[in-house]
Structure 1
Amino acid sequence: MLYMDYCATTPPYSEVIETISECMRIFYGNPSSLHRVGLEAEDMLRKARQVTASALGVKPSEIVFTSGGTESNNTALKGVSAAYRSRGRHIITSAIEHASVYEAARQLEADGYRVTFLPVDETGAVSVRDVEQAITKDTIMVSLMAVNNETGRIQPVEEVGRMLLQYPKIVYHVDAVQALGKIRTDVKAWNADLASFSAHKFRGPKGVGFLYRREGVNLVPLLAGGGQEMGLRSGTENVPVLVGMAKAVRMAVEKQPEATARMYGLRSILTERLKHLENVLLHGSPEAAGMAPHVVHFSCPGYKPEVVIHALEERGICISTRSACASGEETPSRVLQAMGLGREEAATGLRVSFSSEHTEQDMERMADELERVLNTISPKTGGRGR
């Protein structure tokens, strides 16, 4: 099986699996308990926070452990909006954000906040100028993703962060879920006040992530309870999984420069092949530097995407339609429509995402099998051709 759906989830590093297993066996205590077993678990939790913070070049106190990207994003948007509502009730985000930002913003809109959903250009990028022009005296937050989870388009988060230095009262949040381990991820260079991460996107365990919160940024917590995570995220911490995530963070950051270069090479092979296939339209920037190295996104107008996916699966290849959260929907992609694509193209998007451990032969195989599938399936009905 050739698994090429790394944007949806990634296979954990074997070292991470071993670390979690060992930690579950030895450090099973509740880190809030005062006895020795609890204190040992608390020490492991402290070390996991230190390792995570060190990998990102931030302070341990600036790392808030969560259940993943969705909780981190919701905590950022809802926590900031509640903490700074006396300053204003205007939030700026974009039309292409992940559902956990987009829908959270819609909820805030229903609660009386004014939300500006910025447009993107035909390549899927937000304009720094549009961000600045949307700012008003009531703006309390800007939230943008570093890498779009459908198309792989890199967003100008560093340039936006630089511009926002002129507006010190605006809280800047970056959804970095698809960035860590793929592109340089530097929350300080981004001038981010908050940044969201999810472990299973960089070969860590599922159900765990973290929110970088710059020192001095206030948040109203989503969960009431025992006051864990510096009072920002109540609930007993899953110590073994957090330790495993910390290991995955360190490995992802250490491997990133070499992995990025290799993945760009693999991406080039696949995109060059797809450019010459009939009925295949590539999306995103034509400039490789504007795209994340691990994603190739394209449409096959006239073909049902689920039929193409299952036909490829029969040939031993796993890819996806769009965000895993919306992969079962038949409606056109909100992201692709924001890029100006028509309903048919926006409803037939396909996403290939891979790792640095894939090979040149894997890319060739993917292109070969896609070509065979498109020649086999009837483009009108989505069924088998003659």
Structure 2
Amino acid sequence: MTLMRVYLDHNATAPLRPEARAAMIAAMDVVGNPSSVHAEGRAAKALVERARAQVASAFGADGADVIFTSGATEAAALACAGRGLLGAAIEHDAVGAWVSDDLPVDAGGLVQVADPARSVLQMANSETGVVQALPEGLAVTDATQAFGKLPVAFNWCGAQMALISAHKLGGPKGIGALVVRRGTEIAAQLRGGGQEMGRRAGTENIIGIAGFGAAAEAAVRELASGVWDDVAKLRNILENSLEAAGNKTIFVGKDSPRLPNTSCIVTPGWKGETQVMQMDLAGFAISAGSACSSGKVRASRVLRAMGFDEGAAASAIRVSLGTQTTEEQVLRFAEAWLAKEKKHRARAA
């Protein structure tokens, strides 16, 4: 009997929620352009504004502006371009492209911020799951991984701007948002029409926007139910199972606050890419780091910034669970991974 594949790469993208799918299908029948003043245009505009309200409410952003973008990458450019902001080497590449990597990072993955008004800081790291304490007055925070997994409210996070993305919480790919505190000045990167309050030109992706709103609403309901506490227990079962084998595996950030679903596992001498391929053949989807860069054969710059040497940083995998992950799946993964790890040790001896 062939076992079903097990998806353990939720930090790369989460499966589409049924609520998002239903909202997107309904939006496909909305004919009008949201910028048109006739009845059909007003109906499209109403759909966009309903989703904007859903996202704002889910993100605790009442009194802020939600600017829809093509994803968190575009939101990062809109927030950071031309500002000369400070950042750390553990930031996602989408943010790292616009900021320095001057902020120091300790061995637990925590960043020290001396000048919040000129700095960018992620809420949670996509590779290690380490959660940061955000200082008051922070210029920008990347909330992409935290939103939907942790209790987050933009109103109390202390940042002037935040990046979020739909597909990390069960919405569609290709839609995200920049959340901006009222009164914060930003310069449009896409110019043309006056869409999104003049801050992001281009006809709105109403199908993606509708899915984003529905997914955000469903995600915070799910979070309130306590399901992510159960996911954290499964993550701990996984790590305890691997640790009990007595190998040299390191669980990155284990002593720091972490996302409930994320385990970054370093086995020195066993390349992360090799592990990903071997586990894929065994029926498990995991990654060797951020999905935006995992196709490149290189050591994790996140781990290098935390003090790991080149060899260890190249020997990391990320296992990220979802709310539908089961204990049976976690134990199956642990058994399969340990069998591969044993063979690796035998070959290396």
TM-score bin, normalised by smaller chain: over 0.9
Deviation per residue, 1:154-196 (Å, 9 max, x gap)? 1111xx12xx4xxxxxx52110000011111111221111011
Give, in whole Å, the separation in 1 of the partners of 2:171 and 2:17. 7
Deviation per residue, 1:19-59 (Å, 9 max, x gap)? 201210x2132111122211110111111111111222323
- 1:150: how far off? 0.7
For 1:281, which of 250, 255, 258 is the aligned residue?
250
Contact 1:124 1:285 survives alignment (8 Å): no
- 1:60: how far off? 6.8
**Counterpart for residue 291 of structure 2:** 324
- 1:378: how far off? 6.1
Give, in whole Å, the separation in 2 of the partners of 1:195 and 1:298. 28
Contact 2:271 2:316 survives alignment (8 Å): no
**Counterpart for residue 209 of structure 1:** 176
- 1:14: how far off? 1.6
Task: Decide whether aligned partners of structure 1 residues 46 and 54 sit closer, same or farther in structure 2, where only a CA change above 3 A counts.
Answer: same
**Counterpart for residue 14 of structure 1:** 18
Contact 1:69 1:198 survives alignment (8 Å): yes
1:184 aligns with 2:188: no
Written as runs of structure 1 = structure 2, the 5 A alignment for 1:341-352 is 341-352=308-319
Task: Decide whether aligned partners of structure 1 residues 61 and 341 sit closer, same or farther in structure 2, where only a CA change above 3 A counts.
Answer: closer
C-alpha root-mean-square deviation of aligned residues, in Å? 1.8
Give the number of equivalent residue pairs.
343
For 2:65, which of 31, 54, 62 is the aligned residue?
62
Give, in whole Å, the separation in 1 of the partners of 2:318 and 2:95. 21
What SS does the corresponding residue of 2:140 show, helix, strand or coil?
A: strand
Stretches of structure 2 that go unaligned for 5 or more consecutive residues are: none
- 1:334: how far off? 0.7
Stretches of structure 1 that go unaligned for 5 or more consecutive residues are: 82-89, 106-114, 165-170
Give, in whole Å, the separation in 1 of the partners of 2:300 and 2:346. 20
Written as runs of structure 1 = structure 2, the 5 A alignment for 1:359-378 is 359-377=326-344
Task: Decide whether aligned partners of structure 1 residues 122 and 379 sit closer, same or farther in structure 2, where only a CA change above 3 A counts.
Answer: farther
For 1:101, which of 77, 95, 100 is the aligned residue?
95
Contact 2:144 2:164 survives alignment (8 Å): yes
- 1:241: how far off? 1.3
**Counterpart for residue 110 of structure 1:** none
Deviation per residue, 1:72-101 (Å, 9 max, x gap)? 11111116x2xxxxxxxx522112100011
What SS does the corresponding residue of 1:91 show, helix, strand or coil?
A: coil
Give, in whole Å, the separation in 2 of the partners of 1:153 and 1:380. 33
**Counterpart for residue 300 of structure 2:** 333
Structure 2 length-normalised TM: 0.93
Give, in whole Å, the separation in 2 of the partners of 1:208 and 1:308. 31
**Counterpart for residue 105 of structure 2:** 120
What SS does the corresponding residue of 1:34 show, helix, strand or coil?
A: coil
Structure 1 length-normalised TM: 0.85
- 1:140: how far off? 5.2
- 1:201: how far off? 0.2
